[in-house]
Structure 1
Amino acid sequence: METVKLYVIVFDSTHSAIAAETMLKEENIANEVIPTPREITASCGLSIRFNIDSLDKVKNILKQGSVSVNGVYKLERRLNEKQVEKLM
């Protein structure tokens, strides 16, 4: 069975999640607003999932913007095992 990897941005507020989604779309970075995975507890409940190929661009955009970000995480799921790694 293959490993499923998710890369998500977690926010302190819904407003920040929507603002970040807009910023990423303006830069043509594919993303999707999703409920925050339960493995990550501290958030407003909304996160943005994105492709790992965009990680450096996403980090730069978030640093330049005035959006409050709780963190950027990599989640890996394989069978019943889940791992969470904070990237930023």
Structure 2
Amino acid sequence: MECIATFDTTHMALFFEKSCRSLGLKVKIIPVPREISSSCGLACSYPCEDEERVRTVAAEKGIEVFEYHRL
């Protein structure tokens, strides 16, 4: 299972990726999957087992995540 975080802005997606990677988390920028949204934009995928750590990083850094998804 893959987990995805979506964002309202490109800046937030890039900040999220950089912040998570700096802590050794396996996060990568991807296009928003069509099953989530038909709009073009960026999302970040990460292993679902890291979800708690990922959410903690986002909260601590003030990163505005639009939604979290499990695919």
What is aligned with 1:86?
Answer: none
What is aligned with 2:70?
Answer: 74
Please report the RMSD computed on the Cα atoms of aligned residues, expressed in angstroms: 1.6
Unaligned 5+ runs, structure 1 = 76-88
**Deviation readout 1:5-32 (Å, 9 max, x if unpaired):** 2210100000000000110011110111
What is aligned with 1:41?
Answer: 37
Counting matched residue pairs gives 71
What is aligned with 1:9?
Answer: 5
**Percent of residue pairs bearing the same amino acid type:** 27
Larger radius of gyration: 1
Higher RCO (CA 8 Å, separation ≥ 6 residues) = 2
Whose strand fraction is larger, Structure 1's or Structure 2's? 1
- Structure 1 residue ranges (4+ consecutive) displaced by more than 6 angstroms after TM superposition: none
Query: TM-score scaled by structure 2?
Result: 0.89
